[in-house]
Amino acid sequence: MNTPDSARYAGAAFDAVDIIRTKRDRGTLSAEQIAWTIDAYTRGTIADEQMAALNMAILLNGMNRAEISQWTAAMIASGERMDFSGLRTPAGTPMRTTDKHSTGGVGDKITLPLAPLVAVFGVAVPQLSGRGLGHTGGTLDKLEAIPGWRANLSNEAMMRQLSEVGAVICAAGAGLAPADKKLYALRDVTGTVEAIPLIASSIMSKKIAEGTGALVLDVKVGSGAFMKDLAMARELAQTMVALGKDAGVNTVALLTDMSTPLGLTAGNAIEVQESVEVLAGGGPSDVVELTVRLAEEMLMAAGVHGADPAAALKDGRAMDVWRQMIAAQGGDPDAALPAAKESEVILSPASGVLSELDALSVGVAAWRLGAGRARKEDAVQAGAGVRMHAKPGDVVRAGEPLMTLLTDTPEKFDRAKEALAGAVRIAPTDVPPLRELIIERID
């Protein structure tokens, strides 16, 4: 357990109001000031209203690279830090580790096929994930649709599974960067979530504390992403890559398009089903493309070159690891997945080429159907969501199915359909080329 030396800062000549004024007046905070601030706030010495004022000053005036790096390091030091340096295969061979983080998007089930795919090549994937809040959905929500599967593992169980299987997807322990949990909750209710220094340090403090040797970031941009603007998404990616490098973690980022949903499903059980299709060598082309590209990046970041992830999807090796990974966490990879009790089909209003399918609208519809939650304590419906029958660029015909809405509570259909009003555009002729799925690479 790594924690800050509270005694070191207890008698320091720092005052919360002075620190707020410094950042309010566009000054630079010292490493000592930042370490004291994070420690004092975590312990309750700095009040919420004071930290809220400092967060707003950071949102308005920013931080330089050294400040962001020091802020991130202080959040890491607020809790434990995992160490995989001693990880070995059952035969005693040292294992390298690599991880992926996505900023979240509609239909983003990539972690499910990606973790076992990378593990095929002897690189361990300790994927600590979360549950969804709002329209994006969470990796753990999806996997919990599998009967028997459990998200919570001890550190010992996680190490054992990494050694024996090579991949684990589980919940992060409460001991990782506890300062971030407190800070995030405050930012959420004070209008400071969008501050790039705070977003970057929030993500990277947890990822660095996880102890992986290499990290690939999937930074989404578009209507269904947290970052709608390409320039801001690029700035966030560059900031996080710099934080990883400063911490000694080999880090790269991909900017990827989230103007339209990934794949043909947005929900929980239906996204698991689609992930299994990808692992079986099929599935939607965009999900396959992004899974393979991220796998290549993760393997290269871990020092493995010349691997062929696409072949490992087609020949069943990734599926074998998936089944072992699910079974190791109590799940039954052969069990039937939950299905929604009710469905309603939305028909195409015209014939032509589908030119737009707005990701945010689909995400909100899935959320309203029960696939997501408004509060952390809310339950989700495993079978709820939206199944799409066409993607932008496809030819559609009037009166044929465009989407199927799924839920256990049919009274939710009307609000879901309201979210989809204006989500679809159909052109009478060919549409201009769509934006590439992978927009840019940043290292």
Which domains, from first to last, does the chain contain? 1-82+173-209 (1.20.970.10), 99-172+210-328 (3.40.1030.10), 342-427 (3.90.1170.30)
Mean of the pLDDT values across residues 384-402?
Answer: 96
Mean of the pLDDT values across residues 426-433?
Answer: 84
pLDDT above 90 coverage of the chain, percent: 82
Which DSSP state fits 109?
A: -
Mean of the pLDDT values across residues 280-287?
Answer: 97
Say what the pLDDT of residue 434 is: 80
Say what the pLDDT of residue 234 is: 96
- Active-site residue set: 101, 180, 187, 202, 206
Residue 49 identity? E
Q: What are phi and psi of 90, to 5 degrees?
A: -55, -25
Residue closest to 381 by CA, chosen among 343, 348, 332: 343
Say what the pLDDT of residue 189 is: 84
Distance CA 151, CA 235 (A): 33
Distance CA 278, CA 285 (A): 9
Distance CA 234, CA 293 (A): 19
Q: Does pLDDT of 343 surpass 80?
A: yes
Mean of the pLDDT values across residues 229-237?
Answer: 95
Q: Does pLDDT of 185 surpass 90?
A: no
Mean of the pLDDT values across residues 80-97?
Answer: 90
Mean of the pLDDT values across residues 240-259?
Answer: 96
Say what the pLDDT of residue 12 is: 58
- Contact status, residue 135 vs residue 291, Cβ threshold 8 Å: no
- Contact status, residue 371 vs residue 380, Cβ threshold 8 Å: yes
Mean of the pLDDT values across residues 62-69?
Answer: 96
Residue closest to 279 by CA, chosen among 248, 216, 321, 217: 321
Q: Does pLDDT of 3 surpass 70?
A: no
- Annotate 311-359 with DSSP letters as a single string: HHHHSSHHHHHHHHHHHHTT--TTSPPP--SEEEEEEPSSSEEEEEE-H
Say what the pLDDT of residue 159 is: 94
Distance CA 188, CA 243 (A): 23
Q: Does pLDDT of 9 surpass 60?
A: no
Distance CA 70, CA 366 (A): 39
Mean of the pLDDT values across residues 177-200?
Answer: 89
307's tokens = 């691997």
Mean pLDDT for all residues in the chain: 92
For the ranges 86-95, 109-118, 170-179, 370-379, which has the lowest average pLDDT? 370-379
Distance CA 410, CA 413 (A): 6
What is the distance between the terminal CA atoms of the chain, rounded to a whole angstrom?
31
Helix axes 178-188, 65-76, angle to 10 degrees: 120
Residue closest to 302 by CA, chosen among 253, 243, 251: 251
Q: Does pLDDT of 4 surpass 60?
A: no
Mean of the pLDDT values across residues 375-385?
Answer: 85
Q: What are phi and psi of 350, to 5 degrees?
A: -155, 165
**For the range 234-239, what are the long-range contacts, defined as Cβ-Cβ under 8 Å and sequence gap of 24 or more?**
234/440, 234/442, 235/196, 236/103, 236/196, 236/199, 236/200, 237/442, 238/442, 239/65, 239/68, 239/196, 239/197, 239/200
Say what the pLDDT of residue 172 is: 84
pLDDT-based confidence at residue 337 (cuts at 50, 70, 90): very high
Distance CA 364, CA 268 (A): 14
Say what the pLDDT of residue 250 is: 95
Q: Does pLDDT of 386 surpass 50?
A: yes
pTM score of the predicted model: 0.92
- Contact status, residue 387 vs residue 268, Cβ threshold 8 Å: no
Say what the pLDDT of residue 135 is: 67
Mean of the pLDDT values across residues 117-145?
Answer: 87
